Amino acid sequence: MEKGIKISNLDPATLKTNGALAGALKKFDRFYIGAEFCENLLPRPEDLRRTAAFFLEKDRKVCVLTPPISERGVCNLKSAFRLLARLGPSALELTINDFGTLELARECGLPAKISAGRLLCGNVFLARKRTFQLINSQALRFFTAQGIDRFELSASGELPRTNFSCARSLGFAPGDLNLTLYYPYLNLTTTRTCLLGVPDIPPDESVTGIHCRRECEIASFDVKHPLVREPLLVHGNTVFMRFPRKFYSSENNLEAMRVNRLVYCPFP
C-alpha cells in the first residue's frame, strides 16, 4: 500500500519551519502538490517546479494536483507544465480534474502519468456511504484509452461495498482499475466561486479580471445549517465533511476494492 500526503501549495521551507518536513519524508512515499479544486490557489509555476524537484531529489514520488480551469488557469498551468517537463522522465504524476488539462499536458510534452481526480470520478463511478459502484464501463474505456487507469476518491467513514466481482458482466477487468483514497475529508460540492475571495460571477462573464487575495488559505471554516445534522467544513470553493475514525480493518480489505494508495490530507 503506497502512502501519500497532500501538502497542496506548502513548500519544503514552510514544512521545515513547522517541524513537519523530516517526519513527512520518513512516513510518506508520495507528495501531492498544487491545487485540486480552485485555480486561484495554484502555486506560481517556478514554485511548483522547485517543490517537485526538491521531493524528487529526495527519492520521493510527486503528484501535481490540478483543478478545473478557465482561460485564467490555462496560462498558469501552461507555464508550470513547461517548467515541469524540463525535469525529464521521473516519478511524476499529474491529477486532472478538467479534460482541458489533459490536452494541455500533452501539448507541453509533460512526461507524467495521468490520474483522474476526485471531480472526474462521477463520470465512471457512483459513490455512496456504503457502496462504490462502477456505473459506466464505456466511460472507463474512454479513460483507459487516454492512458488513465487510476481514479481518485474520498473515504466516507467506512469501507464501501463494490460491484467489482461482477466485472466481466459489466464489461471491464478489475485490473483496469487502480484507486487512490483520500482521507479524512470527503469533498461534497465545489463551486465556480467561493465565499471569501471571489464575488458572484454570472456564467457569461470571464473570471480573468477577478482578483483573489486567497483569504481561504488562512483557515477552514465550520458551517452549520438547521437542515444538516453533520458538521461541515468550507475551504475555498469546496465544502467538506470530516471522518476522523479509521475506515478499514486491514490493507487487504482496501486491496480487495482496488485501493492501492492512501493519501492523508492534514487539512481540507
Structural domains present in the chain: 2-184+242-264 (3.20.20)
Residues found in the chain: 268
Strands 61-65 and 259-264: unpaired
Give me Rg for the CA atoms of the chain: 18
Q: CA nearest 114: which of 102, 99, 124, 100?
A: 102
Query: What's the grid cell of residue 172?
Result: 471491464
Distance (Å, rounded) from C-alpha 21 to C-alpha 108? Answer: 31
- The pLDDT tens digits along the chain (268 residues) read 999 999 999 999 999 999 999 999 999 999 999 999 999 899 999 999 999 999 999 999 999 999 999 888 899 999 999 999 999 888 899 999 999 999 999 999 999 999 999 999 999 999 887 899 999 999 999 999 999 999 999 998 888 899 998 888 888 888 889 999 999 999 999 987 787 766 667 777 776 667 788 888 888 989 888 888 889 999 999 999 999 888 888 899 899 899 999 999 999 9
* Four-CA torsion 49, 51, 56, 61, nearest 10 degrees: -100
Q: What is the pTM of this model?
A: 0.93
pLDDT reported for residue 198: 67
3-state secondary structure the chain: CEEEEEEECCCHHHHHHCCCHHHHHHHCCEEEEECCCCHHHCCCHHHHHHHHHHHHHCCCEEEEECCCCCHHHHHHHHHHHHHHHCCCCCCEEEEECCHHHHHHHHHCCCCCEEEECCCCHHHCEEECCCEEEECCHHHHHHHHHCCCCEEEEECCCCCCEECHHHHHHHCCCHHHCEEEEEECEEEEEECCCCCCCCCCCCCCCCCCCCCCCCHHHCCCEEEEECCEEEEEEEECCEEEEECCCCCCCCHHHHHHCCEEEEEECCCC
Half-sphere exposure for 207 (CA within 13 Å, toward CB): 21
Distance of CA 42 to the CA centre of its chain: 13
Give the pLDDT of residue 242: 94
Question: Measuring CA to CA, which residue among 196, 192, 189, 190 is closest to residue 207?
Answer: 192
Tell me the β-bridge partners of 182: 154, 263
